[in-house]
Amino acid sequence: MDEPGKNDKLRQLQAIGMVWNVIVSIALPTTLMALGGRWLDRRLGSSPWMTIVGLLVALGISYLLVMRQAKKIAEMLKTPKS
């Protein structure tokens, strides 16, 4: 038999993992693209345009990654628990 509350702890850990994935899906592209845009701005003397373009690209990437994660979560919630 399972311990009482073990299932709840597992669900909490899964929820924390999902939240972590969403945070990383937003923070990592934003940081990398902003830094890349800033580097390009310094090399090309185009400040702040490459940084803005980098942030817009990061927004699109983050959107796609978060939507993919949301679909996975929705599928997980649809499947019956055994």
Q: What is the pTM of this model?
A: 0.80
C-alpha to C-alpha distance for 14 and 23, rounded to whole angstroms:
14
* Residue ranges making up the domain that contains 44: 13-73
Interval 2-39: pLDDT, tens: 566 778 888 889 889 999 999 999 999 999 999 999 99
Give backbone dihedrals phi and psi of 20, rounded to 5 degrees, phi first: -60, -45
Is the predicted pLDDT of residue 69 greater than 80, yes or no? yes
49 belongs to a structural domain? yes
* Total domains in the fold of the chain: 1
56 belongs to a structural domain? yes
- pLDDT, residue 7, reads 81
Find the mean pLDDT for residues 55-72: 95
Interval 48-60: pLDDT, tens: 999 999 999 999 9
